A and B are shown apart, each in its own frame.
Chain A
Amino acid sequence: MYQFVAKYLVLNKVFKFFEKVTLPSLIIGLIGFCFASYLALYVLPADAQQKEIYRILFVHVPSAILSELIYIFLAINGFIYLVWRTKISAIFLNAAISIGLIFTALVLVTGSIWGKPTWGTYWVWDARITSTFILLIQYVGLLALRSSFSSHQTADQILSIIAIIGAINIPIIKFSVDWWNTLHQNASITSSGSSIASEMLYVLPIMLIALLFLSFAIFGRNIQFEILNRSSNTRMIKEVLNG
């Protein structure tokens, strides 16, 4: 009885929870994105040095933060799955990979578009860009690995191990600008203050929150799919769908 409750009832509640919150999350995220874009594109003044192109950073920086946070989330869930064997952690891990991949790709693309007029080149193999590119490969690798196993349990175990090992890249991305000479400037926001003008700074958290809501909506749909995909018998599907 306990095993049934632990296995199915929790999944059932998670499924129902995401059924309720996914669409509102998408709508809030879209409104937030439009609002942050309006502020970034129309309200904020042009930068004294970079002129208009600096406005790309209001998408680039939140995407970078999310790409790293999502990987940390993967590693934490991988660790929880390996230690406690909780099925929901493996589902969370699987559901977040594609979102992390999209945001890492966005970081690289928006960074390249910003880099051409600012640095004079779309791409340079500096430490920050290279380590972020490695993060992209990690996400692609996790996605490829996931689909190469027929057993969920084996796939979950291997994905968890690789996600944990790959987390070493996150501090490398974060501190690459301090450890090596790179084209990237050092961190603009630190515990001692911010080098970004305060009237420009407030748009960043608004965009970050909007992207978080959008990510949560995608995450919810992925979780619902994963739960159904892992429901191996009709009894479990009934439990999930009918409560």
Chain B
Amino acid sequence: MDNLNTVFGTYLLSISVILILYVLSYARYSKKLKDCQDDLND
């Protein structure tokens, strides 16, 4: 049972890390896009 919890935790950790990287990448891109659009409007 302990091992099964460890396995669940590992899967959760893996998908969390991947999703966090996606969110960070998206946030960085969104900020840059907004900056560029602001530059175009100025």
Partners in one complex: yes
By a beta-carbon cutoff of 8 Å, the part of chain A in contact with chain B is: 26, 30, 33, 37, 40-41, 51-53, 55-56, 59, 63, 98-99, 102, 105-106, 109-110, 113-114, 117, 211, 214, 217-218, 221-222, 224-225, 228-229, 231, 234, 237-238, 241
List, in ascending order, chain A residues with CB within 8 A of B13's CB. Answer: 109
List, in ascending order, chain B residues with CB within 8 A of A211's CB. Answer: 18
Contacting pair B7 A218 (CB below 8 A): no
Most chain-B CB neighbours within 10 Å: which of A51, A99, A228, A241? A228
Contacting pair B36 A102 (CB below 8 A): no
By a beta-carbon cutoff of 8 Å, the part of chain B in contact with chain A is: 3-4, 6-11, 13-15, 17-18, 21-22, 25-26, 28-29, 32-33, 36-37, 39-40
Contacting pair A51 B3 (CB below 8 A): yes
Most chain-A CB neighbours within 10 Å: which of B6, B21, B40? B21
> Is chain B's binding surface mostly helix, strand, loop or mixed?
helix
Name 10 A/B residue pairs within 8 A (Cβ), A-sorted. A51-B3, A53-B3, A56-B6, A114-B10, A218-B25, A222-B25, A228-B36, A231-B36, A234-B40, A237-B39
Contacting pair A99 B21 (CB below 8 A): yes
Closest-by-CB residue of A relative to B4 is: A52
A8 to nearest B CB, angstroms?
14
- Tell me whether A241 and B29 are in contact in the complex, defined as CB-CB below 8 angstroms, given that A33-B15, A63-B14 are known contacts: no
List, in ascending order, chain B residues with CB within 8 A of A231's CB. Answer: 36
Cα of A221 to Cα of B20 in the assembled complex, Å: 13
Cα of A224 to Cα of B11 in the assembled complex, Å: 29
Contacting pair A228 B33 (CB below 8 A): yes
Cα of A121 to Cα of B21 in the assembled complex, Å: 29
Cα of A214 to Cα of B14 in the assembled complex, Å: 12
Contacting pair B15 A102 (CB below 8 A): no
Cα of A99 to Cα of B15 in the assembled complex, Å: 13
Closest-by-CB residue of B relative to A236 is: B36
- Tell me whether A53 and B6 are in contact in the complex, defined as CB-CB below 8 angstroms, given that A106-B14, A110-B14, A225-B29 are known contacts: yes
Out of B10, B21, B36, name the residue touching A237 (CB < 8 Å).
B36
Contacting pair B11 A59 (CB below 8 A): yes
Cα of A211 to Cα of B32 in the assembled complex, Å: 26
Cα of A76 to Cα of B41 in the assembled complex, Å: 39
- Tell me whether A241 and B40 are in contact in the complex, defined as CB-CB below 8 angstroms, given that A59-B14, A109-B13, A117-B3 are known contacts: yes
B17 to nearest A CB, angstroms?
6
A12 to nearest B CB, angstroms?
13
List, in ascending order, chain B residues with CB within 8 A of A40's CB. Answer: 11
- Tell me whether A234 and B39 are in contact in the complex, defined as CB-CB below 8 angstroms, given that A52-B4, A110-B10 are known contacts: yes
Out of A26, A63, A217, A229, name the residue touching B32 (CB < 8 Å).
A229
